[in-house]
């Protein structure tokens, strides 16, 4: 769609366009999007520019984005939803807000066969997790979901557990957040938590209650968990966990 692509051209650097199946005509400033060619979308931490005084030339490939307003994200998301082979999205370290996530993901990214979603090092918090619920509710499974260092607390974890009631996640990274015992319990006792194979949970606020919650989870039947990581600050916690295995 020409109108959308012209706006997307102002968002994505030309090197990235070529790499992911975009073409660009310098003479008239019109671009064509071959959505069937795109299977992965990567944004690097230094690629988003919110300084509107920055105006790169057409030959400047150093940035994957120029003017990322909320409206840009909305149009960009609408275009990406046409990518019938899009399986991986990585927006790590881009300082995305909840409002920008709502604009990009909308009502769940349509029919994209998304398997890998990396949002680490963004200031999501509860608002950002709430914005992701339509995405999780619109699909049955994600192979990898990274929400480490996203300022999640117990309330954000509770919100995420609502999404886990719809979507099975095989590997989930929640390291270096502020999730406590109550948030951990919400996650582990959501209806699809038994499908988890790997849970990275180091750097959170787990106490005695949280360790006991993990033990109860491990003693449940029909779980696929193969690996869970967290800090062991008391020797007796090791004995508790060993007794549950």
Q: How many CA atoms lie within 13 A of 28 on its CB side?
A: 6
Rounded average pLDDT over 129-137: 89
Task: Give yes or no for residue 72 having a pLDDT over 60.
Answer: yes
DSSP string, 68-109: --HHHHHHHHHHHTT-TT--EEE-TTS---HHHHHHHHTTT-
Q: Provide the 10 A C-beta neighbour count for residue 5.
A: 18
Q: How confident is the model at residue 238 (pLDDT cuts 50, 70, 90)?
A: confident
For the four alpha carbons of 9, 12, 18 and 21, in that order, the dihedral sign comes to negative
Length of the chain: 245
Contact 61, 14 (CB under 8 A): yes
Question: What's the CA gap between 17 and 144, in Å, rounded?
Answer: 25
- Is residue 55 over pLDDT 70? no
Tokens 């944004």 appear where?
43
The span from the CA of 64 to the CA of 127, in Å, is 26
- Mean pLDDT comparison of 54-58, 159-163, 235-239, highest-scoring range: 159-163
Q: Is the pLDDT of residue 7 over 60?
A: no
34: confidence class by pLDDT, cuts 50, 70, 90: low
Q: Which residue has the higher pLDDT, 123 or 43?
A: 123
Average per-residue pLDDT in the chain? 76
Token output for 81: 């939803």
Q: What does the pLDDT read at residue 68?
A: 64
Higher per-residue pLDDT: 106 or 133: 133
């Amino acid at each position: 769609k020409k109108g959308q692509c012209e706006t997307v051209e102002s968002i994505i650097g030309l090197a990235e366009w070529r790499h992911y199946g975009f073409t660009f005509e310098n003479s008239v400033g019109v671009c064509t999007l071959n959505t069937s060619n795109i299977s992965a979308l990567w944004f690097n931490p230094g690629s988003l520019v919110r300084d509107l005084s920055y105006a790169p030339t057409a030959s400047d490939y150093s940035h994957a984005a120029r003017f990322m307003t909320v409206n840009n994200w909305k149009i960009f998301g609408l275009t990406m939803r046409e990518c019938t082979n899009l399986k991986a999205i990585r927006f790590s370290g881009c300082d995305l807000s909840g409002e920008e996530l709502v604009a990009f993901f909308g009502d769940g990214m349509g029919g994209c066969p998304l398997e890998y979603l990396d949002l680490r090092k963004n200031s999501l918090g509860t608002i950002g997790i709430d914005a992701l619920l339509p995405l999780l509710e619109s699909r049955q499974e994600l192979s990898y979901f990274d929400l480490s260092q996203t300022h999640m607390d117990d309330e954000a974890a509770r919100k995420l557990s609502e999404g886990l009631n719809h979507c099975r996640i095989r590997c989930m990274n929640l390291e270096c957040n502020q999730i406590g015992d109550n948030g951990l319990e919400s996650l582990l006792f959501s209806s699809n938590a038994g499908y988890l194979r790997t849970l990275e949970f180091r750097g959170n606020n787990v106490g005695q209650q949280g360790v006991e919650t993990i033990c109860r989870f491990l003693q449940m039947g029909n779980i696929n968990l193969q690996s869970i990581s967290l800090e062991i600050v008391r020797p007796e916690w090791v004995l508790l966990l060993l007794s549950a295995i």
